[in-house]
Structure 1
Amino acid sequence: MYSNFKEQAIEYVRQAVQEDNAGNYAKAFPLYMNALEYFKTHLKYEKNPKIKDAITQKFTEYLRRAEEIRAVLDDGGSGPAANGDAAIATRSKTKPKDGDGGDGEDPEQAKLRAGLNSAIIREKPNVKWSDVAGLESAKQALQEAVILPVKFPQFFTGKRRPWRAFLLYGPPGTGKSYLAKAVATEAESTFYSISSSDLVSKWMGESEKLVSNLFQMARESAPSIIFVDEIDSLCGQRGEGNESEASRRIKTELLVQMQGVGNNDQKVLVLAATNTPYALDQAIRRRFDKRIYIPLPDVKARQHMFKVHLGDTPHNLTESDFEHLAHKTEGFSGSDISVCVKDVLFEPVRKTQDAMFFIKGPNDMWTPCGPKQRGAVQTTMQDLAAEGLASKILPPPIARTDFEKVLARQKPTVSKSDLEVHERFTKEFGEEG
C-alpha cells in the first residue's frame, strides 16, 4: 500500500519542479506541499532504514525549497529567479539577530518556525470555565497562573510569582485537554498547542531544535502558554532500554528550556497533560511546580455533564431523573458520559424508524405512538415519506427509559487498577483537582 504514497509523492515533485523551473511559483508551492504530505505518510510505513534516510533527505530539500518560494510569494514577489537567489530572499525577509553580522535568521530556523506557526491556536475554542464540570481547585490554580498575571500584574510583586508550569494528570477521558481548551478561550495569551507524538514523528531528528524555537517564539509573543498533550510519550524515564538518542536530546532540551522559563521571570506558562504520570522522567516531573490530579467526575459533575451534552435537544427528564442518572454512572469518565448521551440522542430516531403507529399533532407533525393511543394511525415512517410527508415526521422527545436502555449496555472505560495507580501517585507527588 505504502509504495503508492511514494509514487504519488514523486509525481507531485515532478510537477512541482516543472512549474518551479518555468517560474510559476504560485503553482509550484502547493505541489511541493502535496508531495511533502505523501512523503511524510510513506515514512510512517517504510521499514528499510536506508530508504528512510534517503526520503528524509529529499523531504528536507523540498521543504526548504517550498519555504523559500513561500517567503518570496508572501513578500508580494512573483518568485525567486533561481534556487540560490531564493535562499537570499528568505534571509532578507527575517530580522537580523544580535551578533549575527546582519545575516538574519538562517533558512533552517525559518523552516522550523514556519512549522510551529500551525501550532498557534488563533481561533478561541469557545470552552468557558463554566462549561468545565467540577475541578474547582484545578480551575482556581489555572486562573491564578493565567488570568490574574495578565489582568492584575500589580498582584505579583516582591516574592509573589505566578505558577509557571502545570502538569494535569489522571485517567483517560476526564477532561484534561478540555480544561486546556478553557484556558485557551479565557486567557489573553498566545496559545501553542503541541502534541508530543507530532513533534517526534514530524520533524525527523530536528525535535530538539523545534523545542528551543518553540520556547523562543513563546517568549517573543509573551504572555503565552505552551500546551503539550501526551507529554509521557515525549518524556519517559531516561536510561530506559528503548530510549533513542533523539528522544534523550529532546528531553534534555525541554529540561533546559523549562529551567529557563522558571528562573527568568518571563510570561510563559507550560501546561502539560498525561494519562501516565508515573512514566514521566523524574527531572521533568520536578520542573512542574503544580501537579494536579484530574479525577473521575463526582455525582454533581456527572449531573451537570448530562445536561450540557443534552443541550437544547427536546427531552422530558426532570431534575430527579438527572440525579438518578448521575448516581447510576458511578465510575464513568466525562468521555464515557459524552458517548452515552450521543447514543441516547439516536434512540428517538430508532423509535421513529421502528414505529408501526403514528399520531398527528400540532402543526400537522407526525410522531410515533402506541397502538392504543387515541388518534393513532397504523403506518410507518417509509409510508409517510412516500406520501410526501417526510418533512412532517418528528422524533419523540428523549425519555429516561432511553438512558436506561443505553446504560444497560455501556460500561465505564476506566478500571479500578488505573484509578489506584493515579491515587498512589497523587499521595506521593500531586494534589487533588
Structure 2
Amino acid sequence: MASGSTLQKAIDLVTKATAEDKNGNFEEALQLYEHAVQYFLHAMKYEAPSERAKQSIREKCVSYLDRAEKLKKHLADPTGKSNKKNKPVADGSKSSDNKESDDEEDEQSKKLRGQLAGAIVMEKPNIHWDDVAGLLAAKEALKEAVILPIKFPHLFQGGKRTPWRGILLYGPPGTGKSFLAKAVATEANNSTFLSISSSDLVSKWLGESERLVKQMFEMAREKKPTIIFIDEVDSLCGSRSENESESARRIKTEFLVQMQGVGCDNDGILVLGATNIPWTLDSAIRRRFEKRIYIPLPEAGARNIMLHKSLGDTPTTLVEADFLKLAKNTDGYSGADISIAVRDAIMQPIRKVQHSTHFKKTRGPSPVDSNLIVDDLLSPCSPGDYGAIEMNWMDVPGEKLLEPPVTMDDMLNAFRRTRPTVNEDDLKQLTKFTSDFGQEG
C-alpha cells in the first residue's frame, strides 16, 4: 500500500460522514465516522507521520468519536427522552455525580477504543490458503473455526456442533504461524480481524491494561464475526508465579474471564494465539485454547514449494532436479530460513554485475519491454570471453543490462552461509508439549 493512501481514505470517509450528518442521515454518518477513525489510527500506526501530525490526528479522532457517540445515543433514543441512568432523583447532587461518572466512563472508553482501533486490519494482506505450503491440519482447523461458520451459519445452530473459540498455533520460529493468520485475515470475508501484540494491551497506568483487554473483547462482540489474533501470546499469558507483578496477574485474570465469556455472548469470536514457547503459557489460558496445533519445520515437499515461491519469476538456470536436491539438503531449515537463503542467492547476480570488469553483447528480452527481443544487451562476462568489452557497471546504460540468472552454485553457496536458526533443545520441548497437550499440524 502506498504511503498516505490510508490517511487519504480516512479524510474521504470523514468528508462523506459530515455530508451525511448535515443531511440528517445519521445512521450512515455514524458508520462513516467510525470507519474514518479506524483508518486514521491505522495511518498513525503504520504510515509514520510526524509527531505534530499524530497529535492533530488524535485531536480529530476524539472529536469524531464524540460526534459518533452523540449520534449513537440519538439513534438509540430518537425522542430525546432520558434513560434510567440520567433520570433525576431526590438528591440532585447525586444525579449530577452519576452523570459526571458516566461521562468520565464514556471518555475513558473512547480513549481505550481509540488505542485499540489501530489493531483492526483494514486492508486484507492478500495471502490465501494456497500460498501456505503444507500445514493441512492447521488450515482445516482454521476453516472449521472461521470460514464454515460465516459461510454456512445454519450448520452451527442448535445442538452440540459449535465452532472452535480458541486456537493456539505453536512451533519453532519462522514456520508460518503469522503467515497462517494473514491467510485467515484474507479468507475470512465480512469478518473483523484484530491483530494484537503485548504493546497494544500493556499500559503503565494502574488498571488500564485489564480495561484494554475488556474493551478489546467488547469491540470484538460488537463487530462479530471477529478474529482476535494475539502474536507471541506467551508475553501476555505466561505462567502465574509469586514473583510476577500485580498488573501482569490482573491482565491474565481478565483474559481468562473474557475468553470464558461468562455473562457474555462470545459466539462468532475466535481467539487465535501464536507462540514459539507454549510450555510457558499459564495452564488455565492453555485450556481456553481448545485446539492446540503444532506448526512444525517444513518437510521436503513443503520446502520444495517454498523454494519455488521464494524465487518467484527471478531468472534462473535451476531445473526441477535442482529444486529436489535443495529441498532434500535443507532438512532443519524453517520457512523463514529458506526465504532468507534464497534472498541471498538472488542477490548474487547483482554482485556479479557490480564486480565485473568486462561485459559482452548478448540477445535477450528488453528490460523495458519483456515482449521485445533485442540483440544489444550487455551481460557480465570473463575477460577472456569472445566479444568481451572492458567496462564496469557504471558504464552500462540502465536499459541495456541483462541480469545474469541465478545458478545452482549461487543457491548452494547461499545455504552454506545461512544456517538453520531452530534450536535442537527447543524442538525436543515442542515435541514433548505436543505429546502432552497438542496435535500435529
Q: TM-score, normalised by structure 2?
A: 0.75
CA distance in 1, matches of 2:342, 2:140: 28
CA distance in 1, matches of 2:205, 2:399: 51
Correspondence for 1:423: 431
CA distance in 2, matches of 1:377, 1:317: 28
Read off the aligned partner of 1:423 and give its amino acid letter. Answer: T
What RMSD in Å do the two structures reach over aligned CA positions?
A: 2.7
CA distance in 2, matches of 1:203, 1:131: 42
> How has the CA–CA distance of structure 1 residues 202 and 347 changed in structure 2, closer, same or farther, with 3 Å as cutoff?
farther
CA distance in 2, matches of 1:131, 1:200: 33
Contact persistence 1:91–1:107 (CA under 8 A): no
TM-superposed CA distance for 1:338, in Å, is 1.1
CA distance in 2, matches of 1:254, 1:149: 24
| Structure 1 counterpart SS, 2:360 | strand
Is 1:110 equivalent to 2:125 in the alignment?
Answer: no
Contact persistence 2:221–2:266 (CA under 8 A): no
> How has the CA–CA distance of structure 1 residues 263 and 393 changed in structure 2, closer, same or farther, with 3 Å as cutoff?
same
| Structure 1 counterpart SS, 2:293 | strand
Percent identity for Structure 1 against Structure 2 = 54
Paired residues for 1:378-417 under 5 Å: 378-382=390-394, 384-385=395-396, 389-417=397-425
Aligned with residue 62 of structure 2, among 62, 68, 71: 71
Is 1:286 equivalent to 2:277 in the alignment?
Answer: no
CA distance in 2, matches of 1:267, 1:134: 27
Correspondence for 1:366: 378
Read off the aligned partner of 2:173 and give its amino acid letter. Answer: P
| Structure 2 counterpart SS, 1:121 | coil
Correspondence for 2:26: none
Correspondence for 1:140: 140
TM-superposed CA distance for 1:265, in Å, is 5.5
Read off the aligned partner of 2:116 and give its amino acid letter. Answer: L
Is 1:346 equivalent to 2:347 in the alignment?
Answer: yes
Contact persistence 2:119–2:194 (CA under 8 A): yes
After superposition, the C-alpha distances for 1:31-56 in whole angstroms (9 at most, x for unaligned) are xx9xx99xxxxxxxxxxxxxxxxxxx
Read off the aligned partner of 1:381 and give its amino acid letter. Answer: W
| Structure 2 counterpart SS, 1:368 | strand
> How has the CA–CA distance of structure 1 residues 334 and 100 changed in structure 2, closer, same or farther, with 3 Å as cutoff?
farther
CA distance in 2, matches of 1:169, 1:202: 29
Paired residues for 1:32-431 under 5 Å: 70-72=61-63, 74=64, 92=70, 95=73, 100-101=85-86, 106-157=106-157, 158-188=159-189, 189-201=191-203, 205-241=207-243, 243-260=244-261, 264=265, 266-362=267-363, 363=374, 364-382=376-394, 384-385=395-396, 389-431=397-439
Contact persistence 1:358–1:368 (CA under 8 A): yes
Contact persistence 1:299–1:327 (CA under 8 A): yes
After superposition, the C-alpha distances for 1:51-107 in whole angstroms (9 at most, x for unaligned) are xxxxxxxxxxx99x98676433x38xxxxxxxxxxx8x7863554898643867610
Contact persistence 1:68–1:90 (CA under 8 A): no
Read off the aligned partner of 1:396 and give its amino acid letter. Answer: P
Contact persistence 2:298–2:335 (CA under 8 A): yes
Read off the aligned partner of 1:199 and give its amino acid letter. Answer: L
Read off the aligned partner of 1:348 and give its amino acid letter. Answer: P
Q: TM-score, normalised by structure 1?
A: 0.76
CA distance in 2, matches of 1:262, 1:429: 28
CA distance in 1, matches of 2:421, 2:195: 26
TM-superposed CA distance for 1:357, in Å, is 2.5
Worse overlay, 261-270 or 190-199: 261-270
CA distance in 1, matches of 2:149, 2:163: 7
CA distance in 1, matches of 2:227, 2:322: 40
> How has the CA–CA distance of structure 1 residues 240 and 402 changed in structure 2, closer, same or farther, with 3 Å as cutoff?
farther
CA distance in 2, matches of 1:100, 1:253: 26
> How has the CA–CA distance of structure 1 residues 186 and 171 changed in structure 2, closer, same or farther, with 3 Å as cutoff?
same
Contact persistence 2:221–2:265 (CA under 8 A): no
Stretches of structure 2 that go unaligned for 5 or more consecutive residues are 1-40, 46-53, 77-82, 88-101, 364-373
CA distance in 2, matches of 1:261, 1:184: 27
TM-superposed CA distance for 1:214, in Å, is 0.7
After superposition, the C-alpha distances for 1:328-362 in whole angstroms (9 at most, x for unaligned) are 11100111111111111110000111123222112
TM-superposed CA distance for 1:418, in Å, is 1.1
Read off the aligned partner of 1:71 and give its amino acid letter. Answer: V
CA distance in 1, matches of 2:423, 2:208: 38
> How has the CA–CA distance of structure 1 residues 342 and 69 changed in structure 2, closer, same or farther, with 3 Å as cutoff?
closer
CA distance in 1, matches of 2:252, 2:192: 24
CA distance in 2, matches of 1:93, 1:71: 14
TM-superposed CA distance for 1:369, in Å, is 2.0
CA distance in 2, matches of 1:223, 1:261: 18
CA distance in 2, matches of 1:211, 1:268: 14
After superposition, the C-alpha distances for 1:238-272 in whole angstroms (9 at most, x for unaligned) are 1241x111111110000000000898461000000
The count of residues paired between Structure 1 and Structure 2 equals: 356
Stretches of structure 1 that go unaligned for 5 or more consecutive residues are 1-32, 38-61, 76-86
Read off the aligned partner of 1:368 and give its amino acid letter. Answer: P
> How has the CA–CA distance of structure 1 residues 207 and 154 changed in structure 2, closer, same or farther, with 3 Å as cutoff?
same
Contact persistence 1:71–1:93 (CA under 8 A): no
> How has the CA–CA distance of structure 1 residues 90 and 312 changed in structure 2, closer, same or farther, with 3 Å as cutoff?
closer
Contact persistence 1:142–1:183 (CA under 8 A): yes
TM-superposed CA distance for 1:197, in Å, is 3.6
Contact persistence 2:213–2:251 (CA under 8 A): yes
